[in-house]
A and B are shown apart, each in its own frame.
Chain A
Amino acid sequence: MRLIFKNLNVLRSTINAISTGIEIKEIVESAGNNLPNLFDFSSFGIFWKEDLLLFLYQEESCPPSFTQEVVNNMIKVFSILGEESVDADRIVLQIEKRKLRPKQMVMDPKAALKSYLTLPLAVEGEILGCTALNSDQPNAFDAQDLQFFSVIGYQMAATLKHFQRFS
């Protein structure tokens, strides 16, 4: 029970941090700084359809092949959800690398994408993009992770929509 309360408090802080962001980079960084307290992940990303911008916040030891797998998967999921194909060559990729793991747990240079949670950033039936948590570990996420991540996803979608309206 104590763990749930602790996680709920982290969730509140994360939502609060996201809601005060005024640009996509700030929103990703606010979320990224808080998410390691809730989930074990290798990479967290937001794809923003309007600017074809894919922003990744990931463990510094993420090998390029893993990053490419994450990008491909996010585009694939978005294409299915958005019912439109996205030209991967036109995507602007921005990567923020952070130390998310202790030194002894750095990622294998051949690490592959083994688990992910991807959610559409949807507001009033319109899909603005998608957000994803990715891991090189199998079965890294469970139902509670999905519940928490969906709450964070809703806040990101609402903040991005607000940002879109007033930018």
Chain B
Amino acid sequence: MGRVVKEEKRGKWSSDLVLDLYSNLLAEIWELVSALIGEAILAFLVGLAVRKLGEKYPFLNSLTVSEEGISLDEMKEDCRTVAPVEIHRGFQSLINQLSHLFSVLAEGVINKELFPKVFPKVKEAERIISPK
């Protein structure tokens, strides 16, 4: 936590810290949404979202997803040369894409559960990583 605060004060985030932030956010999304639609369908949707964005944000292709959840372990090595702000944009796009897929499936039912719990944290991440 101390490291996080120091990095924040300098306004400069390392790739690892951004990955940790989004790893926690994706874990929260996984926990909430898998309770609604099950792990297999959610794993399918995450895979679909990654395929849609993989060309624009190649580092997302090393995200691994299974019925156990989402892992960013393999991504850490690949992200050493990627700018933290680019990682942030990639994950924001991934979360937006997931939210779009949830709407396609169930209109507002999933996002209604997700928005109050997870999206304030996405906004907070945006505020921390891209200070104005």
Contacts and interface: CB of A to CB of B under 8 A. Distances in A.
Given A80-B101, A117-B105, A119-B41, A125 B36 contact: no
Interface string A78-110: 001101000000000000000000000000000
Nearest to A117: B106
A150 B104 contact: no
B4 interface: no
Nearest to A118: B105
Nearest to A126: B44
Contacts of A147: 35-36
Interface in B67-124: 101, 104-107, 109-110, 112-113
A60 to B, nearest CB: 25
A119 B35 CA distance: 14
Interface of A: 77, 80-81, 83, 115-120, 122-123, 125, 127, 141-143, 145-147, 150-151, 153-154
B48 interface: yes
A115 B105 contact: no
A122 B109 contact: no
B40 interface: yes
B37 interface: yes
Contacts of B11: none
Interface of B: 35-38, 40-41, 43-44, 47-48, 51, 101, 104-107, 109-110, 112-113
A122 B47 CA distance: 12
A117 B109 contact: yes
Contacts of B104: 77, 80-81, 118
A150 B37 contact: yes
Contacts of B109: 117, 141-143, 145-146
A124 B44 CA distance: 9
A143 B111 CA distance: 10
Contacts of B112: 143
23 contacts: A77-B104, A80-B104, A81-B48, A116-B106, A117-B105, A117-B109, A118-B105, A119-B37, A119-B41, A120-B41, A120-B105, A122-B41, A123-B40, A125-B43, A125-B47, A141-B109, A143-B110, A146-B36, A146-B106, A146-B109, A146-B110, A151-B38, A154-B38
